[in-house]
């Protein structure tokens, strides 16, 4: 029997230094977390000096953290029809993969992108080409890229399992996987509220994406309704998903790291984690 809260964590802050995330993890008693390796809303492309990498690895070693992963910048759009933005996004993703690899992070989570003026098929083709280029240029790295399902807000792609499946198939790399966000899936129209619809959703996922490609989970409740295509995370048990969905997620995916991405202000991380641990 695994302990309550096994591979359950939150998105940690790295303000004041990357290694500070381990301090937060220690306080919260979590064994996995997600970080931004640099400011997620800026076009910067850091390469970390050995001292920073060593400090990070040292803090990791003295912690009980098992898995750490990053979330890519929100600015990236590998699907863009604008060649300049697309190539900027490719460079940024290459930088992200290298940072992850240098820090020993298993993977970085990526939003597939937005189609804007194009068809979804054209947008998906751009993503496939871009990812092939990123993998070709980071051949000596082992860190993986995980496509996150989106809520389908605006012209975002990745809100249908078909999109994720098409990218996986098109890129065909062992370094590509999937991160499943419960809020996004629900907002995109995948119902997780009853056992029947929960199982149907996962059968769809198995058929179109493949369970073996699922390497991370974001556990967020949803402010938006089923199929609303609104990307607004809510605290666990406060949104439209209901606690059963989280209970089944914890039971079904006990060996996959699960991260909360809910508002951190006050004591919310602790309260959300406690709620989830009690479901175990
Ligand atoms: Zn995300
Ligand atoms: Zn997410």
pLDDT digits (tens, 9 = 90+) for 25-80: 999 999 999 999 998 888 888 899 999 999 999 999 999 999 999 999 999 999 99
From the list 59, 52, 55, the residue with the least C-alpha distance to 38 is: 52
Q: Is 234 annotated in the active site?
A: no
Q: Is 163 annotated in the active site?
A: no
Q: Answer yes or no: are the C-beta atoms of 274 and 25 closer than 8 Å.
A: no
Distance between Cα 1 and ligand 1 center (Å): 31
Average confidence (pLDDT) over 214-238: 98
Q: Is 218 annotated in the active site?
A: yes
Distance between Cα 148 and ligand 2 center (Å): 7
Secondary-structure class of domain 8-277 per CATH: alpha beta
Read off the pLDDT of residues 228-269 as tens digits, 9 standing for 90 and up: 999 999 999 999 999 999 999 999 999 999 999 999 999 999
Distance between Cα 88 and ligand 1 center (Å): 19
pLDDT of residue 39: 87
Q: Is 99 annotated in the active site?
A: no
pLDDT of residue 4: 73
Q: Is 19 annotated in the active site?
A: no
- Coil, helix or strand at residue 102: helix
Catalytic residue among 120, 148, 221, 269: 148
Question: Taking the CB of residue 78, how many other CB atoms lie within 10 A of it?
Answer: 29
Q: Is 172 annotated in the active site?
A: no
Separation between Cα atoms, residue 244 and residue 42, nearest integer Å: 38
Read off the pLDDT of residues 127-148 as tens digits, 9 standing for 90 and up: 999 999 999 999 999 999 999 9
Q: Is 148 annotated in the active site?
A: yes
Catalytic residue among 31, 96, 231, 269: 231
pLDDT of residue 2: 65
Beta bridge partners of 32: 67
Q: Is 255 annotated in the active site?
A: no
Distance between Cα 110 and ligand 1 center (Å): 7
Q: Is 267 annotated in the active site?
A: no
Handedness of CA 230, 234, 239, 243 (dihedral sign): positive
Per-residue CA distances from 152 to 209, 220, 232 (Å): 17, 16, 12
Average confidence (pLDDT) over 216-235: 98
Distance between Cα 180 and ligand 1 center (Å): 9
Distance between Cα 98 and ligand 1 center (Å): 19
pLDDT of residue 88: 97
């Amino acid at each position: 029997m695994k302990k309550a809260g096994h591979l359950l964590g939150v998105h940690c802050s790295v303000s004041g230094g990357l290694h500070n995330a381990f301090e937060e993890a220690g306080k919260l008693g979590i064994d996995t977390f997600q970080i931004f390796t640099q400011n997620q809303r800026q076009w910067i492309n850091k390469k970390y000096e050995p001292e920073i990498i060593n400090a990070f690895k040292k803090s990791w070693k003295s912690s009980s953290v098992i898995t750490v992963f990053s979330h890519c910048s929100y600015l990236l759009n590998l699907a863009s029809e604008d060649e300049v933005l697309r190539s900027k996004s490719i460079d940024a993703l290459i930088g992200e993969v290298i940072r992850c690899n240098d820090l020993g992070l298993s993977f970085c989570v990526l939003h597939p992108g937005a189609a804007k003026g194009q068809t979804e098929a054209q947008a998906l083709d751009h993503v496939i080409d871009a990812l092939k280029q990123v993998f070709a240029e980071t051949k000596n790295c082992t860190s993986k890229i995980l496509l996150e399902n989106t809520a389908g807000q605006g012209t975002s792609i990745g809100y249908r399992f078909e999109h994720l499946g098409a990218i996986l198939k098109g890129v065909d790399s062992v370094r590509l996987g999937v991160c499943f966000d419960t809020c996004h899936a629900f907002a995109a129209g995948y119902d997780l509220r009853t056992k029947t619809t929960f199982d149907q959703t996962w059968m769809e996922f198995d058929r179109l994406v493949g369970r073996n490609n699922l390497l991370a989970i974001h556990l967020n409740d949803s402010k938006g309704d089923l199929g609303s295509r609104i990307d607004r995370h809510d605290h666990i048990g406060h949104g439209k998903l209901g606690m059963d969905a989280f209970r089944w997620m914890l039971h079904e995916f006990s060996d996959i790291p699960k991260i909360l991405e809910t508002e951190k202000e006050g004591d919310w991380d602790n309260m959300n984690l406690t709620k989830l641990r009690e479901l175990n």
